[in-house]
Amino acid sequence: MHSTRRRVLKMLHDHILDVEQAEELLDSIEAAVPDSTAQDIPQIIGDSAPNQEFLRTLKKIATMDSHVLVQGEPGTGKTLTARAIHAHSRRSSHPFLSQFCGESPDTLGAELFGVDRDDKAPRKGLMDLANGGTLFLDMVEDCPPDIQRRLSAYLEDGYFSREGNPRPIFSDVRLMGATHGGLKAKVDEGAFQSLLYYRLGAVVLQTPPLRDRPEDIPTLVAYFIKSRADRDGRSPQIATKEAMELLVEYSWPDNVAQLAGMVDRALSLCDGDEIGVEHFPDLDQKRALETQLAEAETR
């Protein structure tokens, strides 16, 4: 955008354009092209080898236009991953919408596909509203069989129909689904439609668990501390060496989401400038118990 602006200004300087023509051209360019510096591109933090490999794969996937299945343990950032793929894709200037599929199965069809019945005004669903962009289906394995069938049909030809009206509607939407894993087993059991699995899972991206990248924990902790400080309008605190060692040693079964919650709780407990081991009482107690058990086994 900035290089285009410079070229227009040079044309103005060289008398190829007059002032009014230059202003009109710049206005039309700015209206057609979004300012990429203003876009909210999600940050996936960490310099570890597993995380860097994950980011390289993510950016490759973003340049494609395939539908994507994001797979990973709870708390590994599957929604953040989907947002990052969208933000780095050609669809970034269009909507990113999401739907949690794990509840309200009776109304899921209306939410996704909209409603068009004779007794009511038509209501657009997410498939309409996300046209040109991305629709993220969290816990996609919880979709009822009828929704699975309709999503699979959409992935085949790009058409869907609203509740109450069979008229086909075209929409250009990139679908992304998220699952904790085990979706193939559900296919084998007949609990998830195989066509939807293979169409949606043409590209699968696995989010790495935090235990596989413990070297990213100090960076993540610093990020969470600064985010909280910025939100509270205060100077950021620091974690002591002992506290950081405690955090790095822990296995984090609920991954980054659990770490973020623990740090936020510690900041609420801390009145001073340093976050210590005492501000992570649950982890400290678990470490003490594990140490006692280890010592008992060696006796």
Q: What is the per-residue pLDDT across 184-193, written as a single tens digit (0 to 9) for each?
A: 999 999 999 9
Q: In what order do the strands lie in the sheet with 68-71?
A: 96-100, 134-138, 174-179, 68-71, 203-206
pLDDT-derived band at 29, boundaries 50, 70, 90: very low
Residues with Cβ within 8 Å of 57's Cβ and at least 6 positions away in sequence, in order, are 205
Whether the Cβ atoms of residue 243 and residue 280 lie closer than 8 Å to each other: yes
Pair of tokens at residue 275: 């976050």
What mean pLDDT do residues 248-255 have?
Answer: 94
Amino acid at 143: C
- Of 234, 216, 238, the C-alpha closest to 225 is 238
**pTM listed for this prediction:** 0.81
Q: What is the pLDDT of residue 43?
A: 80
Phi/psi at 62 (5° precision): -60, -30
pLDDT at 24 over 90: no
Domains of the chain, start order: 2-33 (no CATH), 49-208 (3.40.50.300), 212-298 (1.10.8.60)
> What pLDDT is stored for residue 299 in this prediction?
57
Is the model's pLDDT at 207 over the cut of 70? yes
Per-residue model confidence (pLDDT) at position 285: 78
> CA-to-CA distance for 138 and 178, rounded, in angstroms?
5
Mean pLDDT for the stretch of residues 291-295: 54
What percentage of residues in the chain have a pLDDT greater than 90?
73
Contact yes or no for 138/98 (Cβ under 8 A): yes
Q: Mean pLDDT across the chain, nearest whole number? A: 86
Mean pLDDT, range 17-27, rounded to an integer: 51
Integer Cα distance of 244 and 286 in angstroms: 15
How far is residue 127's CA from residue 72's CA, in Å, rounded to a whole number?
25
Closest listed residue to residue 175, CA positions, set 147, 150, 154: 154
- Measured CA to CA, the distance from residue 271 to residue 30 in angstroms comes to 48
User: Which range among 103-117, 142-156, 199-213, 281-295 shows the weakest confidence by mean pLDDT?
Assistant: 281-295
Give the pair of three-digit tokens for residue 265: 């709780």
pLDDT tens-digit series, residues 75-85 = 999 999 999 99
Q: Would you say residue 236 has pLDDT above 50?
A: yes
d(CA 231, CA 268): 13
Per-residue pLDDT tens over the stretch 143-153: 999 999 999 99
Report the range of poorest mean pLDDT among 110-114, 191-195, 231-235: 231-235
- DSSP class of residue 143 equals S
Indicate if the pLDDT at residue 70 is higher than 50.
Answer: yes
The rounded Cα 67 to chain-centroid distance in angstroms is 14
Q: Which string of DSSP letters, residue by residue, matches 173-202?
A: -EEEEEESS-HHHHHHHTSS-HHHHHHHTT
Strands 159-160 and 169-170, bridge-based pairing: antiparallel
Query: What pLDDT does residue 21 have?
Result: 52
The predicted model gives 86-103 an average pLDDT of 95
Q: Are strands 96-100 and 203-206 parallel, antiparallel or unpaired?
A: unpaired
d(CA 177, CA 204): 10
Average pLDDT over residues 44-60: 95
What are 111-143's pLDDT values in tens digits? Answer: 999 999 887 889 999 999 999 999 999 999 999
More confident position, 238 or 15: 238
CA dihedral 30, 32, 38, 40 (to 10 degrees): 180
- At 2, which amino acid appears? H
